[in-house]
Structure 1
Amino acid sequence: MDSQKEALQRIIGNLANKNDEMQNFIDTLNHALKGVQANSASVIGDLDEEFDSLYSVLDEMKESMTNRIKQEQAHKTQELQNQLTQCTSALEDAEELLEFSTRALSIKNPEEFSKAARQIKDSVTMAPAFRLCLKPKVSDNMTHLMVDFSQEKKMLQALKFLPVPKAPEIDSDKCLVADNCITVKWKTPEEDSKIDHYILEYRKTNFEGLPRVKDERCWEVVDNIKDTEYTLTGLKFDSKYMNFRVRACNKAVAGDFSDPVTLETKALVFSFDGTSSHLNLKVEDSWIEWDSTGGKGQETKVKGKENKGRSGTPSPKRTSVVTRPPSVKGTRDRFTGEAYTVLGDVVIESGQHYWEIKAQKDCKSYSIGVAYRSLGKFDQLGKNNISWCIHVNNWLQATFSAKHNNKAKPLEMPVPDRIGIYCDFDGGQLSFFNSDSKQLLHTFKTKFTQPLVPAFMVWCGGLTLYTGLQQPSFLTSLEKNDSEMNGSSSGIINGD
C-alpha cells in the first residue's frame, strides 16, 4: 500500500510538473502570437515609412530637375525671342532700303541718281541685316532632360528585404558569475558582416530552467553592444537565478532571440530583524541607527512584527540558503540594558555566505559578527562563548579588536570604511575583510554547534547593511591556505 502511494505520488508529481511545463509553453505560444501581430504591424509601418521616404526623395529630385528644365526653357526662350526681335527689325529696315533702291533705279537725272546711289550704299553698309548672325544662339534640345533611369530602375526592381540576422547562441559554459558580476558570451551560427550590434536582455527569477512568460519581473535591456560578450556589474543577487537572451541587429531589423539561458546567482539575502532590536535602535530593512529617545516612533511597527514570533521571541525567517533549525533552548526577549543589539532575520546552519557593513563616519561604537540564537537579551557581542565579532570603539580611546568569550585581540590596522563578513558554517570559519582593499582583518576558527544568526551592535551612530552579495573570488586563495590556520572552539585566531 505504501509503495503504491509513493509510486502514485511520483506519478502525480511528474504530471503536475508536465502540466506546469505545458502551461508555460501555452503562455509562450500566446505571447508569440501576440508578438507576430504586433511585429508584423510594426514592420509594415516601417516599410511604409521607408517607401514614403523614397517617394519623398524622388519627389524632391523631380521638383529639382523640373525647375532646372524650366530655367533652361526660360533662358532659351529669351535668347530666341531676342534674336527674333532683332531679325524682324533688321528685315523691316532691309525691305525699306530695298524699296528705296528700287525707286532709285527709275531716276533719270544723273546727279540725283548718284546722290541716291551713295545714300543706298551707306545704308546698306550700316544695315543691321548684314551684322546679324543668322544662326540660332541656342538649340531647341533640352540638355537637362538627358537623364537615363534604366540603371536606377534595375536597382529598384532588385530591391529586397535585408536578411534577418540569425539568432545568436549563448555559450553557457563560458558565462561567468563572480563577484556580483555576470559575463555573458555568445556566438553567431554563421558569419554575418551586416550585423551592426547586439541587444542583451536579462531578468531575475526564482524559477530554474526555461524563463516563464508570466514571470514576476520584466526584462531589462542593454542595447548597442558591439562585441559578442557583455559584463553586468554591481548586481544584487536577491533571487536564485537570472535569465539571459540576446539577439543580433543590422541597420534595418533585429533578429530572433537566442535560446534563453538561466544562470544561478546564489547569495545570502537578509534584513535587520526589528523584533529583536534594542528599543534604542531605529531599524529599517538594511539600516539601523542608535536613538537616544528609545525608538518610540517604531513601537507600533515593531509590535506588529512581534506578533509573528512565539510569545515575544523573534522568529527569524528562512531562505533558500538555510533550513529550519531545531528548537533552541534559552530563547530571549528583545535586547535591553546596554546590549544595543539587533540580529539578522535569517538562520544560517550550512554553507558559505558573505555580507558587508558600512558604519557612519561619526559612529562612536559598533560590533559586527555572528551569534547563536540563544544569545540572551542582556548579552553583549563577543563577551560570551556564543558570539564572535570585531569591535570598533571611537569613544575616548580608539580601539579596533576581535572579540569572543570576553577576550579581545587588538587589530593593528586602520578601520576600513566598509567591512566584509564571510561565514563558512561547515568549515567553522568566520573572517572579516576590508571590502575595498580585500585585506584580511581577522579570522575566527571554530566548530559551530548551533545555527547562527548575523549579529550587530551600535551605539551613537548607524550601520548600513549590504546583502545579496556573492562570495568574493579572492576568498578562494584564503580557502587554499585554510589548512595553515589552527584554532579551537573558543580561541581567537590571527588572520595575518
Structure 2
Amino acid sequence: MGDQKESLRKITHTLAVKNEEISNFICTLKQSLENLEANSNRVQDDLQSEFGSLHAALDEMKENMLTRIKQERASRTYELQNQLSACSKALESSEELLELANQTLCSSETDGFTQAAKDIKDSVTMAPAFRLSLKAKASDNMSHLMVDFSQEREMLQGLKFLPVPATPEIQVSECQVCDNTVTIVWTLPEPDNKIEHYILEHRRTNHEGPPRIREDYPWMVVEGIQETEHTLTGLRFDTRFMTFRVRACNKAVAGEFSEPVTLETHAFTFKLDSSSAHQNLKVDDLSVEWDSSGGKVQEIRKEKNRTNSPLHSPARSALMSPKRGPTARPGRDRFTAESYTVLADTMIDAGQQYWEVKLDKESKAFAVGIALRSLGRFDQLGKSSASWCIHLNNWLQQSLTAKHNNKARTLDCPIPNTIGVYVNYDEGVVSFYNAKTKQLMHTFRTKFQQPVIPAFMVWNGSFSVVTGLQVPSAVQSGQRKNSGTSSSNASLT
C-alpha cells in the first residue's frame, strides 16, 4: 500500500510539473499573440510613414521642376517679347520711310528733289531695320527640361522589405585576450551594405562552453559598433571565462545572435585575510590602514569545504591554481609583536600570477612580497627563509631594499606609487616591477617546496591591492628575455 501511494505521489508530481509547464507555455503563446499584434501595427505604421515620406519627396521634387519650367518660360518670353517689340517698331519706321521715298519719286517738282533724295538716303542708312538681328534671342525648344523616370520607376517597383541581416560568426582564432583587454573579431557569410551597426554582448562566467540557462552575471551590451571587431578595455577578470555573442542590425531590424564563444580570461584574484592580520591593521577586502590604537580583534570567518593545510589542496594545475586558503592560520594566532603583516586568502601552487599594490609612500615602513603559510606569527617579511619581499623604510632615511632570509640588497631605482608583483611558481621566480612603466626592480629565483601566498606589511601607513589582473605582456616579454640568464640576485635566493 505504501509503495502504491509513493508511486501515485510521483506520478501526481510529474503531472503537476507538466501542467505547470503547459500553463507557462500558454502564457507565452498569449504574450506572443499580443506582441504579434503590436509589432504588426508598428511595422504597418512604419510602412505608411516611409511611403508618406517618399510621396512628400516626390511632390517636393515635382514642385521644384514645375518652378524651373515656369522660370525658364518667363525668361524666354521676356526675351522674345522685347525682340518682337523692337522689330515691330523698326518695321513701322521703315514703312513710313518707304512711303516718303515713293512720294518723292512720284513728285514732278524738280526744285528741292536733290535735297529730298539726300535726306531720304541718310534716313534709310540710319534706319533701325538695318541694326536689327533677325535671329531669335531665345529658343522655343523646352526639351531639355523633359524627364525620364523609367529607371526610377523600375527601382520603385523593386522596393521590398529589408532582409534580416545574416548571422555573424566570431573568429575565435583572431580574438585576443591580453593586458586585461579582449578583442573580438567576427565576419559575415557575405557582404551586406545595408548593415548600419553591430551589437556585442558579453558576460562573465566560471565555465567553458555555451551559456547556461541560469547565470550569475547579466549580459553587458555594447551598441553602435561600426566595424567587424571591437576591443573591451579596463576589464577586471574576477572569473575564468567571458562569453561573447554579436548580431548585425540594419535600419529596420536586428539579426540573430552569433553562436556564443567563451574565451578564457584567467587572472589572479584574491582578498586580504583579516584573520591573519596584526591587530594594529584595519583590514578591508583589498585595503589596509594602520591603526595605532590596535583596533578590535576581528572575527575569523568559518568557511565550509576548506582544508586545514595547503598541503592537502587538490592536485595542482595551471588553470585551477591559485587556490583559496583557509581563513584561519592553522595552529597559530594572527601576526603579532612587530610583525605588522597580513596575508592574502588565496594560495599559489602553480602557473604565473600578477597583482599590483598601491602604497602610501609616506608610510614609515612598507613591504610587499610572498610567503609560505608556515611563516611564524612573530616573523617579519624578508627576515626568514619563508618570505621574499621588497621593503620600503621611511623611518630615519628613505631606502628601498629586497629582503629574504634576513639578507637585504639596496635597490637603486625610484620608488613607484604602485608596485607590480609577478610570480612564476613553476620556475621559482618572484619579480617586482614599477607597475606604471613595467621597469623591473628586482627578481628572486628559488625553488618553491610548498604553496606560497601574497604577503604585505605596513607600519604607520596604508596600502591597497589591485587583483583580477592578467600578467602584462610587457612583463611576460621581459621574463622570456631573462629566463636564460643567471640571476644577479642569487645571494638573496
**TM-score, normalisation: structure 1:** 0.67
* Partner deviation per Cα, 1:291-330 (whole Å, 9 max, x = no partner): 112122xx3xx3142687999999999993235899x998
Task: Give how far 1:375 is off.
Answer: 0.6
Gap regions ≥5 residues in structure 2: 1-24, 61-148
Aligned positions of 1:19-58 closer than 5 A: 40=36, 43-51=39-47, 53-54=49-50
Q: Which residue of 2 aligns with 1:343?
A: 343
One-letter identity of the residue aligned with 2:455: A
Task: Give how far 1:415 is off.
Answer: 0.7
Q: Which residue of 1 aligns with 2:272?
A: 272
Asked whether the equivalents of residues 399 and 410 of structure 1 are also in contact (C-alpha less than 8 Å), the reply is: yes
Task: Give how far 1:357 is off.
Answer: 0.4
Q: Which residue of 2 aligns with 1:287?
A: 287
Q: Which residue of 2 aligns with 1:479?
A: 480
CA gap of 1:439–1:61, structure 2 versus 1, over 3 A, is closer
Gap regions ≥5 residues in structure 1: 1-28, 65-148
Q: Which runs of 4+ in 1 moved over 2 A?
A: 32-46, 51-64, 149-160, 306-320, 322-326, 328-332, 360-364, 485-488, 490-493
Asked whether the equivalents of residues 203 and 220 of structure 1 are also in contact (C-alpha less than 8 Å), the reply is: yes
Report the RMSD for the aligned CA atoms in angstroms. Answer: 4.0
Q: Which residue of 1 aligns with 2:239?
A: 239
* Partner deviation per Cα, 1:210-254 (whole Å, 9 max, x = no partner): 111321111101111111111111111111110001111111111
Asked whether the equivalents of residues 171 and 186 of structure 1 are also in contact (C-alpha less than 8 Å), the reply is: yes
For 1:196, what is the secondary structure of its paired residue? strand
Distance (Å, rounded) in 2 between the aligned partners of 1:362 and 1:62: 75
Asked whether the equivalents of residues 310 and 347 of structure 2 are also in contact (C-alpha less than 8 Å), the reply is: no
Asked whether the equivalents of residues 273 and 344 of structure 1 are also in contact (C-alpha less than 8 Å), the reply is: yes
Q: Which residue of 2 aligns with 1:382?
A: 382
Q: Which residue of 2 aligns with 1:423?
A: 423
CA gap of 1:36–1:386, structure 2 versus 1, over 3 A, is farther
CA gap of 1:281–1:313, structure 2 versus 1, over 3 A, is farther
Give the stretch that moved more between structures: 315-324 or 282-291: 315-324
Distance (Å, rounded) in 1 between the aligned partners of 2:383 and 2:150: 94
Task: Give how far 1:33 is off.
Answer: 8.5
Distance (Å, rounded) in 2 between the aligned partners of 1:429 and 1:419: 16
Distance (Å, rounded) in 1 between the aligned partners of 2:175 and 2:165: 22
Task: Give how far 1:480 is off.
Answer: 3.6
Task: Give how far 1:161 is off.
Answer: 1.5
Task: Give how far 1:51 is off.
Answer: 3.7
* Partner deviation per Cα, 1:125-180 (whole Å, 9 max, x = no partner): xxxxxxxxxxxxxxxxxxxxxxxx99999887754211111011100000000111
Asked whether the equivalents of residues 444 and 491 of structure 1 are also in contact (C-alpha less than 8 Å), the reply is: no
**TM-score, normalisation: structure 2:** 0.68
Q: Aligned pairs, how many?
A: 378
Q: Is the aligned partner of 1:256 residue 2:252? A: no
Distance (Å, rounded) in 2 between the aligned partners of 1:171 and 1:33: 36
CA gap of 1:363–1:329, structure 2 versus 1, over 3 A, is closer
Q: Is the aligned partner of 1:305 residue 2:301? A: yes
Q: Which residue of 1 aligns with 2:104?
A: none
Distance (Å, rounded) in 2 between the aligned partners of 1:37 and 1:317: 55
Distance (Å, rounded) in 1 between the aligned partners of 2:270 and 2:192: 47
Asked whether the equivalents of residues 433 and 439 of structure 1 are also in contact (C-alpha less than 8 Å), the reply is: yes
Aligned positions of 1:325-474 closer than 5 A: 331-474=331-474
Distance (Å, rounded) in 1 between the aligned partners of 2:54 and 2:485: 81
CA gap of 1:209–1:430, structure 2 versus 1, over 3 A, is same
Task: Give how far 1:63 is off.
Answer: 12
Q: Identity rate of aligned residues, in percent?
A: 50
Distance (Å, rounded) in 2 between the aligned partners of 1:49 and 1:156: 19
